[in-house]
Structure 1
Amino acid sequence: MNRIILMMVTGAILIQGIMWLGDSIYLFTTKIEEKKQIQTNYIKAELKERVASVIDYSEYRSQETETFLRETLHSRTYEAYELMQSIYENNKASKSKAEITKMIKDALRGIRFNGNRGYYFIDSLEGDVVLYPVYPESEGQNLIDLRDDDGNYAMREEIELIQLKGEGYIEGFWKNPNTGDDRTYKKVTFVKKFEPYNWYFGCGDYLDEITKDIQKEVLAYVDSIQYGEDNGQYVFVHDYNGVELANGVYPELVGNNYYELEDIKGSKVYQEQISLCMESGGGYLTHYWPTTKGDDYYKKLTYVAPLSDWNWVIGTGMDVSDLDELISNSERELEQFIWLRLIAILAVLSVLVAVSLFYIKVFMGKIKKNFSVFRDYMISANRNLTKIDVDTLDYKDFSELAEVTNSMTERINHLLHYDELTGILNRRYIMETFDDVLSTSPKKTGIIVLDIDYFKRVNDQFGHDIGDQTLIIIAKTIKDNLPDQTFVGRFGGEEFIVVLPETSLEETITVAEKIRRNIEMLNIEAINGNITVSGGVAHSSYFEKEELFKQADKKLYIAKALGRNRIES
């Protein structure tokens, strides 16, 4: 009987030991897969978020092209009006009309803007050309019957608009002298009446040229993007023909065609990216590149997405060789874990055969209980990103594994919510906070959009390390000048968003001005001086949720157009 009991106890312990070992292997293998999946998902999310931020910015700027053009023309025309009115008022008592006319023409003739394309013209309401800087030989002629390339009577329409409203916008279709082709392009013109001499004047620009300006602005923004521990990661842009347009780390690549470029395994890198964007709207690719020494290769994961309106591919990538190494180390740890557990099982078997069946039953119950607790907490942490309660575990190995998991969970939670450089909320989380605040304070929420003036000059003159230090200082200054229960986040690049719950419009403007003044007064040693910001303010008592951010951003661009270092509301 004792022999039978011993055999039964030994067999039960062996079975339990095998089950314990199997369960341990399953848990450890699951942990490895979870670690790999979490790290991979985090890398993918980071790559996608960086590309999405550039695409969002590009699409927003593209959608606002004509609005921006019209606001610029309106602002420029009113600047000329103030100048003309000042000349007239200061000289009308002492000089003749001819003398004042010459002074006005001389003052406006040499002014250029919008990349040297923009200029001012003056015509009389009878159709006589008073000032036309780009064709001065036409001055004094009557062009009342002038038609654009679509046959519209351009000057007659301008005069009719002036007579009806005193000012406004006119659209015409002309050949663009800057392109050198025979195509017809849309041109927007803003005109305004000048009462003293029965004139009207204004300025215009081609919509296509503004689009090019915005594209240059977007490419310059992409060229400024560097991230990662050594600033070795970047966002790139190339067109559907394979021509590199922007690259934050390798400017020497810009302008070259890489349509036929292959990785070390023969994959046509740019062709695959273009096809993925055109056929699937973007996605992830893996390629293999030689190391700098040329004796090995590394694995790079890349995410690309299309900007279809401009036929661009926007993407970024990351070396994931370290992730493969991490998994290999974990597998080696698993092998060691299995041997240790096997030795432990044999030792337990020797001890438990010598003790009572009751002790065996109690001990095995305790083992099962610990596995159950650990497995439950692992599943809970995977689903909710919550920490494991280490105090509920009985064994050091499980406690150490739980502490590693808790550390990784804490790091992931931080990366999901905060900007890595400045420490304030990141773009995704500040926009979620913006939505949450509006849902609780739909008519009492202020929003401020701030942008550092001429920040590209800081990067160009002092380098991106100093630019990063400046961003950190500006972010801290904004945060330090905010009331309690308010939120600030980095929208992207040098742009910040402040959300103020339970705040009036006047209080929002006061906070914005306070931030602007305190930043203006900063003496930043790294750049040997100070720097300024421009801002736009909007309030939910005037705009619905869908328009609130757009209005604040629109006011920001007005502040930029009016000279910067100011707040518009």
Structure 2
Amino acid sequence: MRLSANETTMPRLHLIGTLGLVLIVTLAMAGFFSWQNIQEQRASLGRVEAAVSQEQKARLTAEMQSATDYLEFVRQRTASVLRRSAVEQVDMAMQMAQAIHARESGKRPAQEVQRLIVEALRPMRFFDGRGYFFIDDMQGRFVLLPTGPEFEGRNGIDNQDDTGHYIMRGLIEAARKPQGEGFSSYRWYRPDAPKQMAEKLAYVRRFEPYDWLIGTGDYLYEWENRQQQEALGRLRSLRFGASGHIGLLSSDGRSLLSPSNAALEGLLPRQMPSHARKALETLQATAQAGGGFVEYDWPRTDATAAAASEPVMGRKTALVSTYAPWGWVLVTSMFNDELRPMMDAERQAHEQGSTERRVRLALVLLAALALGVAGSFAFSHWSRHLFLRYHRELQNAQANLRIAAIAFESQEGIFVTDEHHTILRVNSAFTEITGFSATEAIGATPAMLRSGKHGPEFYAAMYESIRTSGAWSGEVWNRHKSGAIFLEWLTITAVQTEDGKVTHYVSTLTDITQRKAAEDEIRHLAFYDPLTRLPNRRLLLDRLHQALLTSRRTRRQGALMFIDLDNFKLINDTMGHDKGDMLLQQVAQRLVATVRQGDTVARLGGDEFVVVLENLSPQSHEAAKQAEVVAEKALLSLAQPCLLAGIEVKNSCSIGVVLFTDDNANADDLMKHADLAMYQAKEAGRNTLRFFDPEMHAAVVKRVALEKDLRKGLREGQLVLYYQAQVDALDRVLGAEALVRWHHPQLGMISPGDFIPLAEDSGLILPLGQWVLNAACEQLARWAQVPAHAALTLAVNVSGRQMHQPDFVAQVLETLERTGANPRRLKLELTESLLLDNQEDAITKMTALKAYGVGFSLDDFGTGYSSLAYLRRLPLSQLKIDGSFVHDLVNEPRATAIVRTIVTLADSLGLQVIAEGVETPEQRDCLARNGCHTCQGYLFGRPGPVEALNIYDTAPAATPA
């Protein structure tokens, strides 16, 4: 029997001959064994997953209970921490009061001694500035009330809080209790909400010499806030397992603690990235529903995730619970795959158990495969000669059809017309681009696509090109079926017979609307700011250059205005960058509305804008008035409130203006001059304008030159040390303070007030401070070689930058060792502001140096924020009374009281006292009467070279170091 070979019978015979033998046997057996293995594996994995989930939840529950217990412990100890701190402060106040009473009661009337005690305690502040000492007598009269001095002397025995509690009576009752037990609780107005009361705890002690009670107190909520911060720090460090940690949310959903991503802390869900927002909203909803377990997606932070360019998400399980006393939502969470090894172990055990079954299955499949291959080989050999003959006949035709089909169904739209321009065929890309289906297009003409943007002459030129050259290509605006206009690239080719007769036209079209828009956008981004759509720096400089050329040609003046917003960073930090962007957009709109049509408004970046005004008056004073009018309009416009997402914000700006007509002016110089003028406006109080003054530029040039000369002076040894004597009560020189001076080769002696701030700003204070320390230690070493001078001390001022250098201690010790100076004769002078920047770092370094004998003096004492708590911790040896108090000693009783208080405080702390700025014998005598016997000032000599010190006859005898 002879079978005919065609495209239908050949595939059918091939399927029946090959797959019929292989697939029936192979698939049946493979399916059975595969199904059996899958069922067993699913059952095993299901059991393991249930156990893993139960263990995970138990772990989360245990960690949640531990965290809750810790928060309860921290909250309950709030009152005890406040009690200890209050007792410590009141005990110190009692020591001062007792010291003043013991020293002055036999010398002064009781009323005067009472006033000394009151004035000594009045300026004391602690508890971050909230705490103060109050004094009442045991009959209920106010003796000292720093927050309300107008009530001092009045009786407050009947004062009540909002619960009806008698405040003063409670304090008097507490004062009668033994030391350490005199506590009283009452409610008083909060500093941050004057109409709202909050619970306050006070501690008082009875001062029996005057039948007083001395006490202090603070609000419990402030200390509870401290405990909350401590709890946050502790919970932040807690970890369990490989990925487990504890997170915290506030009642409104704000992230308080996020150990895996600290950048989210302080943000609301709507301010977070999408993945974090979804997770936080899920946790918040769970908390509002009463808490419990919940699953959500979260970015992984392991090594694999760190190497990925995009966040790698993982599934987490969390336990959510609310800690009611503080309104916190606690979340204990861990990634679900942390216990994955148990799953892997179970899977491995299952694989080992099914190895034998897989071997049997493989043998069966191999046998079936071998049988199928043998049958296929025999069948293929029989059918091959039938298929080859048919294949040879179709090969050429199929190849041509494939090429034509692929070419026709390309990404470009194609339509074919006859010689009369009637559409015969379209491809799918044509339908996608134009919106017309094949049914709608076939039989019509391309005229259905015309947009009306091209006139008859356009199409006439098109057909003339096709007639003469056989083709045309170009951009054409056509109309989509929906009516939308789009830009396309159209190519038309004529199909001709051998004798040149046109039979068809083949047209290809491509939608280039988006490409053209992208090209326009790229050109726009190159010259315009994407946020405000204003010209950017590149376009601004180009227009400024053109404005300069025009100004030189027409001799008319122009102006450049440099505008900087005031306090823009504050708005960005407090309201968010999205609100800052909205403000910048409104500022841009207002500036454009302020200037003329031909002027340029540009944004340099950040909150800096520039306006170029052209074609102003040829007369400088008239041009200045015209520019001033525009600048004033800008100030007035930008000072109006802005509405940012429903929030009204008031802002202002500072404007610097420079005029230009000079042929030598260039864009860079104008920008610098306008910038300098703007900073002058800032310094003048902001929300104003300033014109450029050449003296500004000269001052900047002078400062730059001075900085350069200072660097050179450090290298070439132009700096020298001057010394000002420090004397005792008998005018004997005990030592000196080292003061740096600069002998400039051309300018002569330059005041430290001119070059020290420059050194601070430029960073030269570090090499300068090291030079001063080295020179001072060398002088100490020279004095040590003369027995009459060996006991002299030398004080050296230390800057904040020096103190905060990590190797500051090592530098000082290395200098002492290299010069051979006695560390016990070196005294480093520090300021209160320096110490307050980083107390713990300063205390650590001071303690390390004091162990080697180096002394420390607190300079300008009394002019800053003086806290007994930190004074007691600082390893000081001396307090230096500021010269402002010394200047007013003779005529100002309050200055005398302050000096006496400082001396009393120093005595209580075991510190020495020295006064600076002593210029008259009356000042020296007044200091001595109030307990200060060591002085420094013009009365004993102005700063000068070491040879000017009168030390050879007055220095005390050397004592062992």
TM-score (norm 1): 0.48
Larger Rg: 2
Ranked by relative contact order (alpha carbons within 8 Å, sequence separation 6 or more), the top structure is 1
